[in-house]
Structure 1
Amino acid sequence: MKTVIFKFQPDFHLATGDIYQIEAKQHGWMNGCNIFTRRFGSQDFISYIMTTRLLNHWLSFPKISLKRLNNTKSYINLGTEMKLLNDKKQFEKALAIFDQHGINNITTLSNFAITEVLKACAHMRDIQRGKIIHNLIASETKNDIYVSSTLIHMYVHCGDMASAQSLLDSTKTKTPSMYGIMMKGYIKNKQANKANDLFNEIENPNDVNMILLFNACAQLKTKEALDLVKKTSKEIPKSFYSNPRLLTSLLDALMKCGDVAHAESLFYISKQKVLPMYGAMMKGYVDNNLPEKAIDLFNEIENPNDVNMILLFNACAQLKTKEALDLVKKTSKQIPKSFYSNPHLLTSLLDALMKCGDVAHAESLFYSSKHKVLSSYGAMMKGYVDNNLLEKAIDLFNEIENPNDANVTILFNACAQLKTKEALDLVKKTSKEIPKSFYSNPHLLTSLLDALMKCGDAAHAESLFYSSKHKVLPMYGAMMKGYVDNNLPEKVINLFNEIENPNDVNMILLFNACAQLKTKEALDLVKKTSKEIPKSFYSNPHLLTSLLDALMKCGDVALAESLFYSSKHKVLSSYGAMMKGINYFNIYDKVESVGSQLFISF
Structure 2
Amino acid sequence: MLHYLSMEDFGGPGAMTTSHFSLRKAVSLLNSFAKTRSLSKGLQVHAKLLVFGLTFHISNTALVAMYSLCNNIAYAQEIFEKLEPKNLYAYNMMIRGFANNGLSEKALFLYKRLLSQGLKPDNLTYPSVIKACACLNSLQAGRDVHIDAINNGYEFDSFVANSLLNMYLKCGRFEDAKDLFNRIPERTVVAWNTMIAGFSQNGRHHKALEIFDQMKVSGVLADEATMVSVLPVCANLRDVERGRAIHAYIDERGFGDNLLVRNSLIDMYAKCGCLEDARRLFNEAPQRNVISWTSMIGGYVLMGLVFEALSLFSQMQPTKVRPNSLSISILLSGCASSSFLRYGKFVHGYAIRNNIEFDVVVETALIDMYAKCGKLDLGYRLFMKTSRQRTVPWNAIISGFAQNGTAEEAVKLFKQMLQESVCPDNATIVGLIPAYANLVDIRHGMNIHGFLIKAGFDLAVEIATGLIDIYSKSGCLEFTRKIFDGIEGKDVVCYSAIIAGYGMHGHGGEVIFLYEQMLNCGLKPNEITFTSILYACSHAGLVDQGLQFFRSMVASHHIKANVDHYACIVDLLGRNGRIKEAHDIIREMPLEPNHAVWGALLGACVIHQNVELAEVAIESLLKIEPNNTGNYVLLSNLYASVGRWEDAEKVRNFMKDSGLRKMPGWSFIELKQQGLGIEPQVR
Determine whether 1:512 maps to 2:572.
Answer: no
2: CA distance, partners of 1:161 / 1:264: 37
Correspondence for 1:179 among 165, 188, 192 = 192
Give the conservation status (yes or no) of the 8 Å contact 1:449–1:461. Answer: yes
Task: Describe the superposition over 1:557-579 as per-residue Cα deviations: whole angstroms up to 9, x where unpaired.
Answer: 57656655555345434455456
Q: Are the counterparts in 1 of residues 96 and 107 from structure 2 also a CA contact under 8 Å? A: no
Q: Structure 2 length normalisation: TM-score?
A: 0.66
Q: How does 1:9-408 map to 2 (within 5 A)?
A: 76=89, 79-80=92-93, 82-87=95-100, 89=103, 90-101=106-117, 110-123=122-135, 125=138, 126-138=141-153, 142=156, 144-200=157-213, 201-202=215-216, 203-237=220-254, 240-302=255-317, 303-318=322-337, 320-336=339-355, 339-401=356-418, 402-408=423-429
| Aligned AA (1:550) | L
Q: Quote the residue 1:430 is aligned against.
A: 448
Counterpart contact for 1:439–1:445, Cα < 8 Å: no
Shift in Å, 1:591 = 7.7
- Structure-2 residue corresponding to 1:477: 496
After TM superposition, list the pairs within 5 Å mapping 1:519-558 onto structure 2: 522-533=542-553, 534-556=556-578
Q: After superposition, give the CA deviation of every residue in 1:496-522 in whole Å (9 maximum; x if it has no partner).
A: 55543544433322322332344xxx2
Residue 431 of structure 2 corresponds to residue 410 of structure 1: yes
User: How many residues are matched?
Assistant: 514
Q: Structure 1 CA distance, aligned partners of 2:552 and 2:460?
A: 31
- Aligned-residue offset at 1:431: 1.5
Check whether the contact 1:582–1:590 (CA below 8 A) recurs between aligned residues.
Answer: yes
Counterpart CA distance in 1 for 2:513 and 2:146 is 50
Would the alpha carbon gap of residues 516 and 246 (structure 1) be closer, same or farther in structure 2, given more than 3 Å must change? same
> Residue 181 and residue 539 in structure 1: after superposition, are their counterparts in 2 closer, same or farther (change >3 A)?
same
Judging changes above 3 Å, is the alpha-carbon distance between structure 1 residues 87 and 277 closer, same or farther for their aligned structure 2 residues?
Answer: closer
Q: Once the 2 structures are TM-superposed, how far is the Cα of residue 206 of structure 1 from its aligned partner?
A: 2.0
The amino acid across from 2:533 in the alignment is L
Determine the C-alpha separation between the residues in 1 that align with 2:135 and 2:389: 28
Larger helix share, 1 or 2 = 1
Distance 1:129 1:539, change over 3 A: same
TM-fit CA distance, 1:463: 4.5
Distance 1:242 1:101, change over 3 A: farther
TM value normalised by structure 1: 0.74
Q: CA deviation at 1:233?
A: 4.2
Partner Cα separation in structure 2 for residue 351 and residue 258 of structure 1: 24
Q: Determine the C-alpha separation between the residues in 2 that align with 1:193 and 1:411.
A: 31
Cα distance in 2 for partners of 1:236, 1:250 equals: 15
Between 1:368-377 and 1:255-264, the stretch displaced more is 368-377
* Cα contact 2:504–2:535 (8 A) shared by 1: no
Distance 2:406 2:132 in 1: 49
Shift in alpha-carbon separation, 1:579–1:244, aligned structure 2, 3 A: same
Q: Deviations over 1:40-90 (max 9, x none)?
A: xxxxxxxxxxxxxxxxxxxxxxxxxxxxxxx99765555455445545543
Displacement of 1:262 = 0.7
Query: Residue in 1 aligned with 2:464?
Result: 445
Distance 1:329 1:73 in 2: 53
| Cα distance in 2 for residues equivalent to 1:359 and 1:121 | 42
Percent of aligned positions that are identical = 21
Distance 1:97 1:289, change over 3 A: same
Change in Cα spacing, 1:206 to 1:291, as seen in structure 2 (3 Å) is same
- The amino acid that maps onto 1:348 is A
Q: Give secondary structure in 2 for the equivalent of 1:324.
A: helix
Structure 1 residue 186, shift from structure 2 partner: 1.6
Shift of 1:271: 3.7
Over 3 Å counting, the alpha-carbon distance change for 1:557 and 1:176 in structure 2 is same
Whether the 8 Å CA contact 1:291–1:318 is kept in 2: the answer is no
The alignment partner of 1:272 has SS state of: coil
Q: More deviation in 270-279 or 162-171?
A: 162-171
Question: What is the Cα deviation at residue 385 of structure 1?
Answer: 2.9
CA contact 2:503–2:537 (8 Å) conserved in 1: no
- The answer on whether the counterparts of 1:255 and 1:263 sit within 8 Å (CA) in structure 2 is yes
Counterpart CA distance in 1 for 2:612 and 2:560 is 28
Gaps of 5+ in 1: 1-70
Distance 1:443 1:598 in 2: 38
Amino acid at match of 2:108: E
For the residue of structure 1 that corresponds to 2:467, the secondary structure is helix
Structure 2 equivalent of residue 58 of structure 1: none
Counterpart Cα distance in 2 of 1:193 and 1:464:
27
In the alignment, is the contact (CA less than 8 A) between 1:76 and 1:110 conserved in 2? no
Q: Deviations over 1:468-513 (max 9, x none)?
A: 5554443343344344444555654555555435444333223223
Match of 2:416, SS?
coil
Q: Distance in 2 between matches of 1:116 and 1:589?
A: 80
The verdict on how the C-alpha distance between 1:257 and 1:509 changes in structure 2, with shifts beyond 3 A counting, is: same
Question: What do the CA deviations read for 1:410-446 (whole angstroms, capped 9, x no partner)?
Answer: 3332233243xxx543322222122465352222222
Change (3 A) 1:121 1:309: closer
Query: Contact between 1:350 and 1:380, CA under 8 Å: does it hold in 2?
Result: yes
Q: CA RMSD in A?
A: 3.7
Q: C-alpha distance in 2, partners of 1:535/1:80?
A: 58
Q: Tell me how far 1:400 sits from its aligned partner.
A: 0.9
Question: How far did residue 542 of structure 1 move?
Answer: 1.7
Letter paired with 1:390: A
The one-letter code sitting in structure 2 at the alignment partner of 1:275 is V
Task: Give the counterpart letter for 1:185 in structure 2.
Answer: G
